[in-house]
Amino acid sequence: MLKKRIVATLVVKQDVVVQSIGFSRYLPVGRAEISAEFLNRWGIDEIVLIDIDARTSGRSIDIDLVHRVSENVFVPLTVAGGISSSQEAKKLISNGADRVMINTAAFLRPELISELAEIFGNQAVVVSIDVKRDSNSSPWVFTHCGTKNTGLSPVEWARQVSEYGAGEILLTSIDRDGTKTGYDCPLIRNVSDTVTVPIIACGGVGHPKHFIEGITKGHASAVAAGNFFHFTEHSSITTKAFLRQHNVDIRLDTYATYEGITFQRNGRIDKWPEDYLNRLRFEYIADEVI
């Protein structure tokens, strides 16, 4: 059976991975290739690399950055940032990207979605949709890094982009971004129940249980987080161990599995019992060699 995916988004600004809050505040984290390497080592299912400065600087995401990040990543890498032509997409795919993602460019010229799908197949084309709710709590699609209201509802725009040939949609709640209060599940669910392509939920994760909600309440096929994975060692593995314990069907085949671990209420792992730790001191654990 197809597993649910845990996806990490790496938001890059001025060549640095950043923590993003509400699409307006950015705190530095580190180098993209290091983050990606650790995420890969810790069993992440997919990585999305987004250059949020690209479009406003009049370029698409840097090919060299993509190449460097992809060298130690053996999971799919989706790249985004100012991509507006199939030539740009071709160069990125030849240099380590597996899929391309477009946001504002899709709104300005939706035919681009079909053009990319015709050459690369719709499975290689992801459309990113950012959403903000107004004072009546009605959701609206925003482009240009969350600054321009398109006047379209997320359900309507999602329907259109999938008709144009998008293979997948990354749906982000700008309001929830960086708040650690969980996904906007009603938003995710409304879009997911409308289209037949997979939806990746994004925006708001602060606790492993939020991933579960994205799947069970939001009906997402994949659950993404940016900030959440950066600050704890083995974050994606412990998250998956938590999800496994709650019967979510995900892949967990890293060498370390954290099976049997217990979790605190805040989602962090408990310390192993003392006698277990004492025994571990004398156990030889060989490296995995392929």
Partner 1 sequence: MKKPKLLIVDYGIGNQGSVANALLKLDCTFKLSGKREDILRADSYIFPGVGAFGAVMENILASDILSTLEHQVLEKKKPILGVCLGMQVFSEDSDELGFHKGLGWISGHVRKLPMRKGFRIPHVGWNEIKIIQKKPLFVRTEKHSNFYFDHSYALYCEQSTIAATCWHGSIVIAAVQKENIYGVQFHPEKSQSSGLKLYRSFSSMMS
Which residues would be at the binding site for partner 1 (CB under 8 A)? 1-5, 40, 43, 45, 67, 70-72, 74-76, 90, 93-96, 98-99, 117-124, 167-168, 196-198, 221-222, 251, 253-254, 288, 290
Q: Which of 204, 200, 202, 269 is nearest to 239 (CA)?
A: 269
- In whole angstroms, give the CA distance from residue 137 to residue 26: 25
Q: Which is nearer to partner 1, 73 or 174 (CB)?
A: 73
**8 A C-beta contact, residue 84 and residue 94:** no
User: CA-CA distances (angstroms) from residue 159 to 34, 165, 166, 173?
Assistant: 37, 10, 10, 18
User: CA-CA distances (angstroms) from residue 44 to 55, 178, 191, 275?
Assistant: 27, 20, 25, 31
Q: How far is the CB of 68 from partner 1 (least distance, A)?
A: 11
- In whole angstroms, give the CA distance from residue 65 to residue 44: 20
Q: Which of 240, 250, 247, 226 is nearest to 20 (CA)?
A: 226
Q: How far is the CB of 261 from partner 1 (least distance, A)?
A: 21
Q: Which is nearer to partner 1, 22 or 76 (CB)?
A: 76
- In whole angstroms, give the CA distance from residue 188 to residue 176: 12
Q: Which is nearer to partner 1, 19 or 86 (CB)?
A: 86
Q: How far is the CB of 55 from partner 1 (least distance, A)?
A: 24
Q: Which is nearer to partner 1, 49 or 174 (CB)?
A: 49
Q: Which is nearer to partner 1, 67 or 133 (CB)?
A: 67
- In whole angstroms, give the CA distance from residue 92 to residue 84: 12
DSSP state letter for 97: -
Q: How far is the CB of 66 from partner 1 (least distance, A)?
A: 10
Q: How far is the CB of 61 from partner 1 (least distance, A)?
A: 16
Q: How far is the CB of 180 from partner 1 (least distance, A)?
A: 26
Q: Which is nearer to partner 1, 233 or 288 (CB)?
A: 288
